[in-house]
Amino acid sequence: MQAGTFLKTFIEMRWLRRFDSRQALEAYQTRQLAAYRAFLQEKSPYFRQGIPADFRMDKALMMRHFNQLNTVGMDRDEALELALESERTRDFSPMKGEIAVGLSSGTSGHRGLFITSEQERSMWAAAVLAKMLPPGKLLGHRIAFFLRADNALYQTVHSALIRLQYFDTFQAAEQHLELLNTYQPSILVAPASMLLELAKLRQSGRLNIAPQKVISVAEILEEADRQAMEASFELDRIDQIYQATEGFLACSCACGQLHLNEDIVFVEKNYLDEGRFYPLITDFKRRSQPIYRYELNDILVENPDPCPCGSVFTRIDRIEGRSDDIFVFENAAGEPVEVFPDFIRRCLLFVDGIGEYQAAQLSSRQLVIAIEHRSREREAALTRQFQQLAADKDFLAPQLIFKDYQRDRSRKLKRICRI
């Protein structure tokens, strides 16, 4: 870790970087964007001839032009070999010089590479800690960090002042019980599906930890799951971090509301309706692997009301899913009818006692519904819910194929998806 970079960034983020108005924030972003574009044209071979006004990037473009885009001379095939070997051995410590390499499949299933320099890792760690550490206590925390793959980026947090213990989500929650009970984390960070498993273990009395803060990452946090976690861990709220390969995009404020980190990233909003939008991300701080007008297919739902915390950063009601999670049905005339993931989710949440679930669309006329605690009564109730949704949205009710729920630990949990 670069101690000077970490300390400077932490102080700025925790106490100094404040915006009194939206106009002040936008003026700051304008300066950062101009500086970032100048850097890209000087240092990235891909942008040396200029940046088209309509330029956009995504994972496919990033992988196709990886060697020309990055500014540290990293070769894509070498980086990919290193990342794949780390995945195979579950040893994520090897680096290419000072550059950490990671493999990202995200929730879309498309493989991608991400790289970070030592300076970027120091800045990332400082930003996350500055925004997420509880008020009144900065030092002495023990962080339990659950994720599919470790990386030097995450280990940057670990120091003599703050401990971080990585836990592999490839293993079931029960396999971590002994270490968790010994470690006694003050902060617990994990995907929502793992937090649910841990909440059940705590409810049963087998997990004896009382974290001061619980943070959901990597997967969509659903309202019913959030309430179950709060009850089990005896907390007023479950915090969230919206972190992707493309950057530290959003996190919970002091009031528990999710805000875009618009002091770190510039977000252009491609609106689908009055509240839903796809974000187009520019990360001011990512220099080894430029993230400039990077198109995410996450569907974010904006909350236009001012937040009680006073922040001028965009307030996000929820992360609803991805564009490829929008179900497409047909009406009586054979025309397509798009249905957002939230409406599919509600059909399942309106039926009592289901527990874990997943809904996958096979075609416009067939859905596979995998549920925990499956019964004829619940299947009948779900059929009625989807018939009502079809009537409300004017499409032909699909055939529902019911299965027993089984969790695939090798992938991020997607409750609503298309096959």
DSSP string across 309-335 = T---SPEEEEEEEEGGG-EEEE-TTS-
- What is the C-alpha separation between 324 and 333, in angstroms, rounded? 24
Last residue of a domain, one of 271, 303, 323: 323
Report which DSSP code applies to 23.
Answer: H
Residue 93, pLDDT score: 76
pTM across the whole model: 0.81
Its domain, for residue 344, covers 326-418
| 182's tokens | 């010994």
Last residue of a domain, one of 266, 297, 323: 323
Whether residues 171 and 284 fall in one domain: yes
- What is the C-alpha separation between 141 and 137, in angstroms, rounded? 8
Tell me which residue of 326, 330, 329 sits closest to 343, measured CA to CA: 326
245 vs 9 pLDDT, higher one: 9
Residues found in the chain: 419
Residue 107, pLDDT score: 43
The per-residue pLDDT for range 109-154, each reduced to its tens digit, is 456 788 999 899 888 888 988 999 988 778 889 999 887 655 555 5
- pLDDT at 419 exceeding the cut of 90: no
CATH number at residue 284: 3.40.50.12780
Whether residues 241 and 330 fall in one domain: no
Residue 7, C-beta contacts closer than 8 angstroms, at least 6 positions apart: 126
Report which DSSP code applies to 57.
Answer: B
Structural domain count of the chain: 2
Q: Which of 60-64, 66-70, 160-164, 242-246 has the highest mean pLDDT?
A: 66-70
Residue 221, pLDDT score: 87
Mean pLDDT calculated for residue range 266-278: 93
Whether residues 337 and 312 fall in one domain: no
State residue 164 phi and psi, 5-degree precision. Answer: -130, 125
The secondary element (H helix, E strand) that includes residue 192 is: helix 192-203
Tell me which residue of 242, 263, 255, 256 sits closest to 313, measured CA to CA: 263
Whether residues 247 and 300 fall in one domain: yes
Whether residues 167 and 105 fall in one domain: yes
CATH number at residue 364: 3.30.300
Q: Terminal CA-to-CA distance of the chain, rounded, Å?
A: 42
Residue 111, pLDDT score: 67
Q: Where are the beta strands (DSSP E) in 135-233?
A: 142-147, 163-168, 187-191, 213-217
Split at pLDDT 50, 70, 90, the class of 157 is low
Whether residues 190 and 219 fall in one domain: yes
| 347's tokens | 């059909």
Look up tokens 């669309």; give the residue.
361
Whether residues 236 and 330 fall in one domain: no
Residue 77, pLDDT score: 92
Helices and strands of the chain, counted as H and E runs: 12, 20
| 124's tokens | 């990332």
Whether residues 139 and 70 fall in one domain: yes
Whether residues 245 and 136 fall in one domain: yes
Share of the chain above pLDDT 70, in %: 93
Residue 409, pLDDT score: 65
Q: Which residues pair with 294 in a beta bridge?
A: 57, 281
Whether residues 63 and 117 fall in one domain: yes
Instruction: Return the ∠ at Cα 223 (arms to 169 and 242), rounded to 5°.
Output: 55
- pLDDT at 323 exceeding the cut of 80: no
96 vs 211 pLDDT, higher one: 211
Whether residues 337 and 290 fall in one domain: no
- pLDDT at 42 exceeding the cut of 70: yes
The per-residue pLDDT for range 393-403, each reduced to its tens digit, is 899 999 999 99
Instruction: Return the ∠ at Cα 192 (arms to 228 and 302), rounded to 5°.
Output: 95
On average, the pLDDT of the chain sits at 88
Last residue of a domain, one of 298, 323, 348: 323
The per-residue pLDDT for range 354-375, each reduced to its tens digit, is 878 889 999 889 999 999 888 9
Residue 189, pLDDT score: 93
Whether residues 414 and 307 fall in one domain: no
